[in-house]
Chains A and B, each alone.
Chain A
Amino acid sequence: MPAVRVCPATGRTIHRQAELLVRFNAVVAVVALLIGAIAALLLVLTRWQAVHLLPAEWYYRLLGVHGMNMLIFFIIFFEMAVLWFAATVLLNARPAAPRFGWVNFGLMVVGALIVEWTQFTGRADVLFTSYPPLKAHPLYYLGIILFAVGALLVTAQFFATLVIAKREKTYEGSMPLVVYGAVTAAIIAVITLIHGALIYIPTFLWSIGVIESIDPQVYRMIWWALGHSSQQINVAAMVAIWYMLGALTVGSVVLNEKVSRSAFVLYIMFISMASAHHLLVDPGFSPAWKIVNTSYFMYMAVLASMVHGFTVPAGMELGMRLRGFNDGLFGWLRRAPWGDPGFSSLVFSVVVFGFVGGITGVTLGTEQINIIAHNTMRIPGHFHSTVVSGTALAFMGATYYLLPLIFRRKVAFWKLAKVQPYLFAGGLLLLVMGMTFAGSFGVPRRHWDISFSQAPFDVPFNPAVDIFLAMMGIGGIIAVTGALAFILIAVTSVFFGETVTEFPRGAEIRGIPQGLTNPPVHPANVDELNAALHAPERGFAGATPGTLVLVGVFLLAFILYYFTNWKLLSFLWKIG
C-alpha cells in the first residue's frame, strides 16, 4: 500500500500511517464512549429516585467507571486523533516517528485496560477524583500513569510533526487557525499531564506503602490542576473543531486572526490557575488566594470563551452572507444546512456550551455563590452542558465528516445520523436542567439514596425535586439513546460502510454530508463583497448584525442568572 494518497474531496496529501493512527484512536474512543454510555444509563436510572435501579455498591462503582471512560478515555483518545489529524492532514505533513506513535497508543490502551479492570472488580471504589485518604488498588494509579505518559508522548510527537511541517515547508505563512487551536489544546495537555504526574506518582507510592501519607488538601489542589485543566484541553480542541466544522459546512471565514488567536493564548495563560474554583469552600486556602485565582485568572479565560462565542457564529454569519445568504438579520441562520449533522452538532454545541455551560460555570465558580452550589447536583448539571453537549457533541459532528474523509466510508443509517444531534442535544438539555434545578434545592451529587431510607434522620426534600429528577431521568434516557445511535452509526460505517472513492460536485448522496459534495465555496469576487459588507455606512454592527443580537441576548441571560444567584445567597444565614 502506498505511503500517501491524495484526498478526492480536498486535494490534501494524506499519509497512510497518520491516517491509521487517527482511525485507531477514534475507534478506541468510541469503545470507551460505549462503556461510559451504558454506565450513564444505569446511573441516571438510579438517581431518578422513582426508579432507583442499582444497589449502592454498583452505583458508586459505575460512577467511577462513567467518569473515567467519558472524561478521560473517550475524550483523550479522540483528542489524540484530532492532534494526528491536525498536524498531518491539515498541514499536509508526514507524521513524526509513526512507529513510536503505535508504542504510545499501546501504552494508553494498556493503561486504560488496567484501570477498567481495577474498577470493575471493585478494587477502586474511590470515584473519579480518588481523594485520599480513600485508597484504591495500586494498579489503578499505575494504569492512569501509563495512560498519561502515552498521551504526553503523543503530544510530543504532535509538536515534532509541527516542526517537520515547518522545515519541509508543507504550508506557506502561518498555520491555519484550526491547527493553532489544536496547538493550544496540546500545550494545555502538557501542563495538565505534568500536574497529573505530580499527583498520581506520589499517590501510587503511597498506595504501595513507600510514602506514609498524602495531604488531602494538597491532593485536592494538584488533582484539580489535572481534573479541571484537562477540561480546558477539551475546550480548546472543541473551539478548534467549531472553526473547522464552520468552514466545512457553511464556509465560515475567520473575521480577524489576531482576535481569535489572542483568545487561544488567553486560555494557555490563565486556565490552569482557574482550577482553583473547585476549592472555593475548602478550608486550606484564604479568600485572597481564592479570589485571585478565580477572578483575574479565570475571568481572562472566560473572556477568551466570550470572544470565541462571538467570532465562531460571526464567522458563520459572514461566510453565509458572502455566499449570497444576505437577507435580513437571520436569513443566514434560517437558510443554513440544518439537515447536515455536522452543522446541527456545531450549532447545538456552541449554544448549549455557551448559554448553559458557560453561564452556570462562571456563576458557580464565584467564591461566595459556590456556598449554594458546592457538591450539589448543580455541579454535574454544569459540566454535562460543557463536556457533553459542548465537547462530545462537537466531536460527534466532526466524526460525520471524518468518516467519509479519513475512513473513506459513507455514514451508515443516514436518516438517523441527521436527527442524532437533535436527540442528543435535546436529551442533554433536559438532563442538565433537571440536575441544575434539583441541585438548587440542595440535592447532593454522587449520592445513592436521597430518600435517606437507611439514615438516622429524615431529609424531606421539596416535592418539586421529584419532578426535576424525573426530568433528569427522561433527559438522560434520550441523551443515552442519542449516544448509542452515534455509536451504532460510527461502528457500522467503519466496519460495514460503503466505500467512498469520490465526492462528485453538486450531487446529493446519502451518507455523505453536504459540505463535501456541495462545498461552501465563496464566489470569485469574495474580497470585494467582503469589503462592501464592511463598508463604514453599514454602521458599527458591520457585516455580522445577527451575531451581535445573539451575543446581546446571551449577555442579558448571563447578567440575570448571575445576579439572581447573589440574591438567593443573601437569604442564607450569616456566615463569614
Chain B
Amino acid sequence: MLTKVHTGLEPVPGIWWRPAHKAEKIWVGIAFAWCMVLFAMMPLWHYRGGQNPAGVRTRVDPKAFYARTVEFANQYKIAEDRGIPIVQPPPGADVYLVGTTFSWYPILQLQAGKEYMLHLSSADVNHGFSLFPMNINFQIVPGYDYALRVTPTTAGDFRIVCNEFCGIGHHTMVGRVIVVDESGSTVADNAKATLKNGGAP
C-alpha cells in the first residue's frame, strides 16, 4: 500500500499511483462536497435570493447613451442641486445614470418599495458604481448598458462613489440618490442605514 517514505525533493522510483489513506480520502470528500455547496448557492440565489447581478445587458454607443440620459433628465427634472438636475421618474420607469470623468449625471429621486429599471453606463472610461452606505457595487464599462431591476427598500439620502480608477480626479467623483418613503418626504437617515448595513466582515 504505502510507497517508500520520501520527501518532495526526491525522485520517486516505481509506481506511485497508490490508494490514499482514509484521512486523505475523507478530507478530499469533504472538500469536494463543500465545493458543490459553493456552486449550488449561486443558481439557488438566482431563484430564491433578492440580489443578483443579472439584469439586461446590451451594447450601446456611449454618445447615444449620454444623449438618452440627458433626454430622460429633462423629462422628469423636478429641481437642481449644485447644477445637477434632480430627476424623479415614475415607479416602473426606465432610469438612466451615466458616469463621466469626474461626475455622475443626474441625481435620482426614487420611491422606496417601487421597482425601477436602472440603466448604468459610461460616456468615456471605466467607472465603478458604489452606492453608499448600502455598499452595492457594479462595474461600469463604456459601450455596455447594464440595466438592473432595482427596488430601493430603505428611504434616505445616498451617495454614489466611483470605485474604479478613471483618472487623476477620480476621488472627486461623487453622485447622489434620494429615496423617499411612502409619505413622499425625504428621510435622510444615513446614520441608521450605516449602522444597519455597513457592519462586519
Contacts and interface: CB of A to CB of B under 8 A. Distances in A.
Given A282-B141, A314-B23, A526-B5, A367 B53 contact: yes
A257 B201 contact: no
Contacts of A566: 41, 45, 49
Interface stretch (A204-212, A213-221, A331-339, A483-491): A213-221
Contacts of B84: 456
Interface string B37-60: 011011101100111111101000
B70 interface: no
Nearest to B191: A460
A362 B31 CA distance: 13
B171 A220 contact: no
Contacts of B152: 573
Contacts of B31: 303, 306-307, 310
Given A457-B159, A459-B132, A576-B52, A564 B8 contact: no
A224 to B, nearest CB: 12
Contacts of A240: 8
Contacts of B159: 457-459
B26 A540 contact: yes
Contacts of A373: 137
A281 B23 contact: no
Contacts of A319: 7
A299 B174 contact: no
A-B pairs with lowest CB-CB distance, top 10: A243-B8, A173-B13, A283-B146, A247-B7, A444-B163, A257-B16, A177-B8, A574-B151, A299-B35, A295-B39
A477 interface: no
B186 interface: no
A310 B142 contact: no
B103 to A, nearest CB: 7
A133 B125 contact: yes
A534 B3 contact: no
Nearest to B174: A455
A299 B38 contact: yes
A244 interface: yes
Interface string B143-178: 111101111111000010111111111111111100
Given A175-B11, A217-B144, A569-B51, A456 B23 contact: no
A457 B175 contact: yes
Contacts of A56: 168-169, 171
A28 interface: no
Contact of A131 (B12, B125, B132, B144): B125
B18 A256 contact: yes
A576 B50 contact: yes
B168 A455 contact: no
B8 A440 contact: no
Contacts of A251: 7
Interface in B13-28: 13-14, 16-18, 20-24, 26-28
17 contacts: A127-B165, A134-B167, A177-B8, A252-B8, A310-B27, A366-B38, A375-B137, A375-B139, A375-B164, A437-B201, A442-B198, A444-B130, A444-B163, A448-B170, A534-B1, A540-B23, A559-B34
Which of A282, A291, A296 has the most CB atoms of chain B within a 10 A radius of its CB? A282
Nearest to A282: B139
Interface of A: 56-57, 60, 90-91, 125, 127, 131-134, 171-178, 181, 215-217, 220, 240, 243-244, 246-248, 251-261, 279-287, 290-291, 294-296, 299-300, 302-303, 306-307, 310-311, 314-315, 319, 322, 362, 366-368, 370-376, 436-437, 440-442, 444-450, 452, 454-462, 522, 526-527, 530-531, 534, 540-544, 547-548, 551, 555, 558-559, 561-562, 564-566, 568-576
A569 B149 CA distance: 16
A275 to B, nearest CB: 15
A555 B103 CA distance: 44
Contacts of A370: 53, 137
Chain B CB within 10 Å — which of A283, A306, A462, A566 has the most?
Answer: A283
Contacts of B45: 367-368, 566
B64 interface: no
Contacts of B125: 131-134, 216
B128 interface: yes
A457 B102 CA distance: 13
A61 to B, nearest CB: 9
Contacts of A569: 49, 51
A202 to B, nearest CB: 16
B168 A216 contact: no
A455 B148 contact: no
B10 A176 contact: yes
A459 B60 CA distance: 31
Contacts of A132: 125
Contact of A576 (B22, B133, B148): B148
Contacts of A374: 128, 137-139, 163
A255 B163 contact: no
Given A366-B41, A462-B194, A576 B51 contact: yes
A248 B11 CA distance: 15
Given A247-B7, A576-B50, 18 more contacts: A56-B168, A134-B125, A176-B12, A243-B8, A255-B20, A255-B24, A281-B137, A368-B42, A375-B130, A442-B198, A444-B162, A446-B164, A447-B171, A452-B172, A456-B84, A462-B198, A530-B2, A570-B49
A244 B143 contact: no
Contacts of A310: 24, 27-28, 31
A543 B21 CA distance: 9
Given A256-B24, A310-B24, A172 B124 contact: no
Given A371-B136, A534-B21, A570 B51 contact: yes
Given A287-B53, A299-B38, A372-B137, A244 B9 contact: yes
A216 B21 contact: no
Contact of B50 (A177, A254, A441, A575): A575
Contact of A302 (B7, B35, B57, B173): B35
Nearest to A251: B7
A459 B174 contact: yes
A437 B9 CA distance: 40
B42 A575 contact: no
Given A283-B146, A457-B159, A572-B51, A440 B39 contact: no
A133 B139 CA distance: 15
B45 to A, nearest CB: 5
B23 to A, nearest CB: 5
B201 A564 contact: yes
